[in-house]
Amino acid sequence: MDIRALTPTYAVSPQIDPSDLTAIKAAGYTTVIDNRPDGEIPPHLHAETMQQAAQALGLTFVINPVIGGAMTPENVAIQRAAIEGAPGPVLAYCASGNRSSVVWALAHAGTRPADELIGIPARFGYQLEHLRPLLG
């Protein structure tokens, strides 16, 4: 597990395993957002399995699959609502953390400076410069 805190209340990660959820909770995260479509992963990592494991630990689990190159306004709205409604820090995951960074940046478009929305993920190797026109 490789948690990358973009802010004190939002982190991204490459794919997690159900066994990681105990450590995620112990690290203080209250909400986990799955940005990975089930079609990309083996059945033991599918959203329903992850959701059951997370909820058994008292974590809120949000299913918001983002298809690479085909993110929708609904994806952004779901991510924004999950972040705003979370009672504590949020961990979002996908294959590498990139999609979870992109949807975070788009969810904050117009509320934070574009330089910040691009620069913060860049510290972890996520290149979001191409989103600048949408973030301003």
For the chain, give every domain's residue range: 4-135
As beta bridge partners, residue 12 has: 4, 92
Superfamily of domain 4-135: Protein tyrosine phosphatase superfamily (3.90.190.10)
> What is the three-class DSSP state of 97?
coil
Q: Please spell the DSSP secondary structure of 31-71, one letter per residue.
A: EEEE-S-GGGS-GGGSHHHHHHHHHHTT-EEEE----TT--
If residue 117 lies in a helix (H) or strand (E), which one and from where to where? helix 114-122
Helices and strands: H and E segment counts in the chain: 6, 5
CB atoms within 10 A of CB 65: 16
Model pLDDT for residues 67-100, shown as the tens digit of each residue: 978 889 999 999 999 999 999 999 999 999 999 9
As beta bridge partners, residue 110 has: none
Confidence of residue 26 (pLDDT cuts 50, 70, 90): very high
Q: Of all residues in the chain, what percent carry a pLDDT higher than 90?
A: 94
Q: Of all residues in the chain, what percent carry a pLDDT higher than 70?
A: 100
CB contact at 8 A, 24 and 90: no
